[in-house]
Structure 1
Amino acid sequence: MLAARDGMLAMASRLAIDIARQANHPDYGDMATRAVAAEIGAAQRVNDRTIERRMAAASRLVTDLPDVWAAQGAGRITAAHTRVIVEAGAHLDDPRDRAAYAAAVLVIAEAESPNRLRRHARRIAERFQARSLTERHRDARDNRRVWVNDLDDGMSELGVQGPSTLIHGMYDRLSQMAHRVREENARAAKERKARDARPASDDPSVDSSDEPSDDRTVDQLRADLLADLVLTGAPTGHHSEDALLDAIHARVEVTVPVMTLMDECGSRTDLPAAELDGRCPIDAATARRIAGAAIGWDRVLTHPISGALLAVDRYRPGDQLKRHLRARDQRCRFPTCGLAARRCDIDHTHAAAEGGPTCEDNLAHFCRRHHMMKHHSPWQVEQRVGGVLEWRSPTGDVYIDHAPAQNTARFTPAESTPAEFEAAAFGTAESTPVEFETAESALVPF
Structure 2
Amino acid sequence: MTELLDATDPQTAMIADLVGSVRAVEETIARLSAVRDGMLAVAARVAVDIARQAAHPDRGDMAVRAVASEIGAAVRASDRTIERRMDEASWAVERFTEVWAAQGAGRISAAHTRVIVDAGAHLDDPADRARYAARAVEAASVESPNRLRRIARRMAEQYQARTVTERHRDARELRRVWVRDLDDGMAELGMLGPAVLVHGMHDRLTRMARTITLENGRAARESGSECDSRTMDQLRADLLADIALTGTPTGHGSDAELLGAIRARVEVTVPVFTLMDEDPNHPGAPPAELDGRSPIDTDTARLLAGRTPGWERVLTHPITGALLAVDRYRPTDQLTRHLRARDQRCRFPGCNIAARRCDIDHTHAASSGGETCADNLAHLCRRHHMLKHHSRWRVERRRRSEEGAGTARGARETNATLGTTGDLVWTSPTGTTYIDRPPEQNTVRFTDRR
Q: Same fold (TM over 0.5)?
A: no
TM-score range, shorter chain: 0.3 to 0.5
Which fold has the larger relative contact order, with Cα–Cα distance below 8 Å and residues 6 or more apart in sequence? 1
Q: TM-score, normalised by structure 1?
A: 0.41
TM-score, scaled relative to structure 2: 0.41
- The answer to which structure has the higher helix fraction is 2
